[in-house]
């Protein structure tokens, strides 16, 4: 007699790595990254890259590449018309996935600005980035951004990072039927196991895979360590 057959569900985990150029893309792919977030100017927490950079990165890797649309410090748009032009130019350069997110002066999701930019990337997959962590109510914002059509939210749960935001991340992880949670922002290796236990499956790293800092090359070995960990 055999006992009841157990149903095993395999959960797909994902590691997204910040890339600044084609060399980063090559190293991240060699280390086992699953997706890239392409930005420029990390001194300002990541800004929109130029089309030429997008073309060079897309030519260097066959990983999915999500391209940042952000033109000002903070989470309000610098120029809505400029963002729309950037989005159109990046699509022309071959970008098919994006990262964006805007808040209004009251700390609510700026739906009008988001929709205006999204009109230029209609049909593209996109991530709502860590603007969510800086919203007046991140958990309420989660439902709003899910309604905007993103498939992923990058969050640490609090402006200060994952260590501060863990309780919020646990609650967001339980709501992934609405949209996928990608955890990033001060993420450390010791955070991964408890986050996975809470249901998180997506992890995002930048400085953690650059032992020499943002002015030094991305380390394929460091990416491999994280890929194995997640």
Tell me the average pLDDT of the chain. 94
Q: Is the pLDDT of residue 140 over 50?
A: yes
- Would residue 71 count as lying in a domain? yes
Q: Is the pLDDT of residue 6 over 50?
A: no
- What's the total number of domains in the chain? 1
- Would residue 7 count as lying in a domain? no
- Would residue 222 count as lying in a domain? no
Q: Quick one: residue 132, left, alpha or beta (phi over 0 = left, psi -120 to 50 = alpha)?
A: alpha
Strands 152-155 and 97-100: unpaired
Average pLDDT rounded to a whole number, residues 62-73: 97
Q: Is the pLDDT of residue 89 over 60?
A: yes
Tell me, what's the pLDDT at 9? 37
Q: Name the pTM for this structure.
A: 0.93
CATH of the domain at 169: 3.20.20.380
- Would residue 116 count as lying in a domain? yes
Tell me, what's the pLDDT at 5? 39
What domain range includes position 201?
A: 14-210
- The 10 Å CB-count burial string (b at 16+, else e) for 98-108 is bbbbbbeeeee
Cβ neighbours of 221 (radius 10 Å):
11
């Amino acid at each position: 007699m055999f006992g009841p057959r157990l149903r095993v569900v395999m959960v797909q985990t994902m590691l997204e790595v910040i890339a600044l150029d084609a060399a980063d893309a090559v190293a991240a792919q060699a280390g086992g990254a699953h997706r890239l977030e392409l930005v420029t100017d990390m001194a300002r927490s990541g800004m929109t890259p130029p089309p030429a950079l997008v073309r060079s990165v897309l030519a260097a890797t066959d990983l999915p590449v999500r391209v940042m649309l952000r033109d000002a410090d903070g989470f309000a748009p610098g120029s809505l018309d400029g963002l729309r032009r950037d989005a159109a130019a990046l699509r022309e350069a071959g970008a098919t996935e994006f990262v964006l997110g805007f808040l209004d002066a009251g700390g609510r999701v700026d739906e009008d600005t988001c929709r205006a930019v999204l009109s230029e990337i209609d049909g593209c997959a996109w991530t709502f980035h860590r603007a969510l962590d800086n919203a007046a109510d991140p958990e309420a914002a989660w439902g709003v951004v899910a309604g905007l059509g993103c498939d992923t939210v990058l969050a640490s749960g609090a402006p200060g990072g994952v260590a501060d935001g863990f309780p919020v991340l646990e609650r967001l992880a339980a709501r992934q039927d609405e949209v996928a949670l990608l955890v990033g922002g001060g993420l450390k290796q010791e955070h991964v196991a408890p986050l996975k236990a809470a249901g998180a499956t997506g992890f995002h790293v930048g400085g953690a895979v650059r032992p020499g800092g943002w002015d030094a090359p991305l380390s394929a070995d460091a990416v491999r360590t994280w890929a194995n960990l997640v």
